[in-house]
Homo-oligomer: A and B are copies of this chain.
Amino acid sequence: MTRWLDDDEQRTWRDFLAATQLVNEALDRQLQREAGMPHTYYMILVALSEAPERSMRMSELAARAQSSQSRLSHAVARLEERGWVRRHRCDSDRRGNYAVLTTEGFAALAAAAPGHVAEVRRSLFDVLTPEQVGHLAEICAALRNTLEQ
């Protein structure tokens, strides 16, 4: 009944898990150490920094930062405590909330970015050949298109 993984698939799957975990751990450690935030918070700040007025509705922010709504809600509460993000009610739809990146939040992001990018290079791009990077791009786009929403 069950189609088990053959040896090649088994090896690929385990390498996939190990590799992606290693990359994510490297990233998280770098950001935690040098910027005092987890990668998920960094992604929220990035998404906000790219939005008009550095401001976005909570639900759109959740989508852009690849976060669940609940996770985002908790995270923004923490970021607000640090003064990096502010929330304010939306007038046209009073259920809604905007999250706004503060000046201090933008500064924290700007301070964190160089170390982060260096880690991204170290743990992903520098490890692979240009051809492999191209393949990876196609693979990830395919996965994303299929699995998203």
Interface residues of A (CB under 8 A from B): 1-5, 8-9, 11-13, 15-24, 26, 43, 66, 113-114, 117-118, 120-121, 123-125, 127-128, 132-133, 135-144, 146-148
Q: Which residues of B contact A5 (CB under 8 A)?
A: 117, 120
A143: which B residues are within 8 A, CB to CB? 15, 19, 22-23, 123-124, 127-128
19 contacts between A and B (CB under 8 A): A3-B121, A4-B117, A5-B120, A11-B137, A12-B140, A13-B120, A18-B66, A18-B144, A20-B23, A20-B24, A23-B147, A123-B147, A124-B143, A127-B143, A128-B139, A132-B138, A132-B139, A135-B135, A139-B139
Chain B hits for A142, CB < 8 A:
127-128, 132
Write the nearest CB–CB distance from A32 to chain B, whole angstroms: 14
Number of copies of this chain that the complex holds: 2
* Shortest Cβ gap from A100 to chain B (Å): 23
